[in-house]
Amino acid sequence: MKKVYIFLACCLALTSCFKDLDQAPVTDSEANASEVYSTVDGYESVLAKIYASYVIAGQELGGGNADLASNNGYDFLRGYFNLQESATEEVANTWLSGEKMEDLTFMSWDSSDPWVADTYYRLYYSIALCNEFLRNAGDISGFTSSEQEQIGQWKAEARFMRALSYYLVLDLFRQGPFVDETMGVGAYSPEALDGEGLFNYVESEILDIEDDLASRSECEYGHASRGAAWTLLAKMYLNAEVYGAGDHYTECITYCNKVIAEGYSLESDYFSLFNADNDKRTNEIILPFVVDATNTVSWGATTYLVCGQVGNSSTQDPAEYGITAGWGMFRVRGELPEMFASADLRGKFYTSGQTQWFTGAIDDQSQGYFCEKWSNLNDDGDASSDTGAAGADIDYPFFRLADVYLMVAEAVLRGGSGASSTDALGYVNDLRERAYGSTDGNISSSQLTLSFILEERARELYFECTRRTDLVRYGLFTASSYLWQWKGGVLDGRAVDEKYNYYPIPAAELSANPNLKNEKY
């Protein structure tokens, strides 16, 4: 049974800019910090809010009593999915105008894009929550030794979540204002860190706290373990050259090896990683974001993924996915199913009445297959929740072992040391044996190439918010050397300006903080 937090309602009153970047959250009951942090339960409540800030938008059902004013009113994960997937060959958006998705879909966004701004401010909201927790956890001498030990571990988790948020700022924006718990509360213009500066901060923070986090075997479900910290480092090291921090492929392998040594293992059934009982897959899922249809009801997060992937004018039966109605938000572009061999069980798409390829507009819901990856059914085949009333009950697997295996293989191919080509091939074939249910899909050493890994990452990780980052790392996201339908806003695809390899700082933030600038936008 998944652990669900009941948390104090912490809200951060934020306007359109973050000049007052690090305001302190307060509770609905107007409890002040001395009251909230006078008990261990109080600390746990605020920590719960930090974790929940990735998947909910407010204190009430579906985002009511919003944490902060935003353009769309949705949680971080919904925005993150749109930024990571919508411009790639994995997603074809349907509701372009109503969802304000034209610019993300056609790679023509600017600093006024509402999804870009919402995602940016959601990240800094989470950072502010972490800073407030850490500021108040500075002196815990009044607690018993066992309570101090517990709060100390939670401090490490809060530092991890803050580092994760700064890593996402790095990956999405390549720059960002920096504030930690030592800088106090008030209106000021924080220092801006560039890509290398953010990289160095996240690296130093994780290295400082890794031993303070719980091991995999001791970590409570839904919390960050040292395996999560090592996975974050590995992902950042794999992309280090893109961030202006140089070659770190050996370090990527080092930390992947640490994760593997924690005893994680592949789940035998691929699709059980994405159903309503996926909280039971702690063998493979390294960091889950808990989504619960009672206490973390969201119209974003996995509700968006499972309902959005099912058509609202197709012949799909929503009940087959454990949902009350399909939203028809998105389909896949033809290039994604083309990557799957017929025997690869991971390629699960609804094709009846659908064409694989587009001959016309991308928002024509009859063109493009529907994805069938996410399910609100539990292991017994029953709907876990009423998605129309309470959203989905599927946790989001933010980090999982399969990604670690693929990172090792890629880092080896890019010249990193610490694992052999035989190791790399073995990890890839482990994934393919699960995908095929046999060794029929196994590849040879000569087939293990960087281009193969890029496709294998799409096959294994589609709809898991990795694709934009992967294509940028390979130099293909904006380039003419790899096109997909409707890339750049034309049916046959085209190259776009290199500035679209990352997102601009929101226009309101530029006005508020002169330390930030969008040089290419």
- 258-278 pLDDT, tens digit per residue, is 999 999 999 999 999 999 999
DSSP symbols for 231-284:
HHHHHHHHTTTTTTS---HHHHHHHHHHHHHTT----SSGGGGGSTTGGG-TTT
- Six token digits for residue 362: 């991308």
- 400-454 pLDDT, tens digit per residue, is 999 999 999 999 999 999 999 999 999 999 999 999 999 999 999 999 999 999 9
Interatomic CA distance for residues 455 and 398, integer angstroms: 20
- 52-61 pLDDT, tens digit per residue, is 999 998 876 7
Asked if pLDDT for residue 5 goes beyond 60, the answer is: no
Interatomic CA distance for residues 323 and 375, integer angstroms: 8
What residue ranges do the domains of the chain occupy? Answer: 10-212+503-512
Query: Between 114-136 and 76-85, two packed helices, what is the crossing angle to 10 degrees?
Result: 130
Cβ distance 219 to 269 under 8 Å? Answer: no
C-beta neighbour count of 105 within 10 angstroms = 23
Q: Which residues contact 80 (CB under 8 A, 6 or more apart)?
A: 119, 168, 465
Burial of 342 (0-12, 13-18, 19+ CB in 10 A): exposed
Report the range of poorest mean pLDDT among 211-215, 295-299, 389-393, 440-444.
Answer: 295-299
For residue 296, what pLDDT band results from cuts at 50, 70 and 90? confident
Interatomic CA distance for residues 165 and 219, integer angstroms: 21
Report the range of poorest mean pLDDT among 35-44, 68-77, 281-290, 418-427.
Answer: 68-77
Residue in 433, 466, 422, 432 with CA at minimum distance from that of residue 452: 432
pLDDT of residue 8: 39
Report the range of poorest mean pLDDT among 180-184, 336-340, 397-401.
Answer: 180-184
The structure tokens 């290398």 sit at 196
The DSSP secondary-structure symbol of 24 reads P
Q: Which secondary-structure segment (H or E) carries 176?
A: strand 175-177
Report the range of poorest mean pLDDT among 10-14, 179-183, 321-325.
Answer: 10-14
Asked if pLDDT for residue 185 goes beyond 90, the answer is: no
Which CATH architecture group holds 10-212+503-512? Alpha Horseshoe (1.25)
In a 3-state reduction of DSSP, which class is residue 302? helix
Pairing label, strands 370-371, 349-350: antiparallel
Interatomic CA distance for residues 427 and 122, integer angstroms: 35
For residue 381, CA distances in Å to 208, 277, 349, 359, 489 come to: 44, 10, 19, 37, 40
Asked if pLDDT for residue 361 goes beyond 60, the answer is: yes
Q: Which residues contact 38 (CB under 8 A, 6 or more apart)?
A: none
Model pTM?
A: 0.94
- Six token digits for residue 381: 């085949």
Comparison of pLDDT for 485 and 17, the residue scoring more: 485
Give the residues across from 370 on adjacent strands: 350
- Six token digits for residue 447: 């087939």
CA angle, residues 456, 457, 462, in degrees to nearest 5: 115
Report the range of poorest mean pLDDT among 45-54, 170-179, 267-276, 294-303.
Answer: 294-303
pLDDT of residue 410: 99
Please provide the average confidence, as pLDDT, over all residues in the chain.
93
pLDDT of residue 34: 80
Q: How many residues does the chain have?
A: 521
In a 3-state reduction of DSSP, which class is residue 368? coil
Helix runs in 287-386, H state only: 301-308, 335-338
pLDDT of residue 31: 58
Asked if pLDDT for residue 147 goes beyond 90, the answer is: yes
- 237-247 pLDDT, tens digit per residue, is 999 999 999 99
pLDDT of residue 30: 45
- Six token digits for residue 438: 């046999």
Cβ distance 393 to 374 under 8 Å? Answer: no
pLDDT of residue 2: 52
The DSSP secondary-structure symbol of 59 reads S
pLDDT of residue 26: 38
Q: Which residues contact 465 (CB under 8 A, 6 or more apart)?
A: 80, 81, 84, 85
pLDDT of residue 1: 40
Report the range of poorest mean pLDDT among 6-15, 282-291, 341-350.
Answer: 6-15
Q: Count CA within 13 A, CB hemisphere, residue 238.
A: 27
Interatomic CA distance for residues 488 and 88, integer angstroms: 10
pLDDT of residue 23: 36
State percent of the chain over pLDDT 90: 87
Asked if pLDDT for residue 104 goes beyond 90, the answer is: yes
For residue 18, what pLDDT band results from cuts at 50, 70 and 90? very low
Asked if pLDDT for residue 9 goes beyond 50, the answer is: no
For residue 352, what pLDDT band results from cuts at 50, 70 and 90? very high
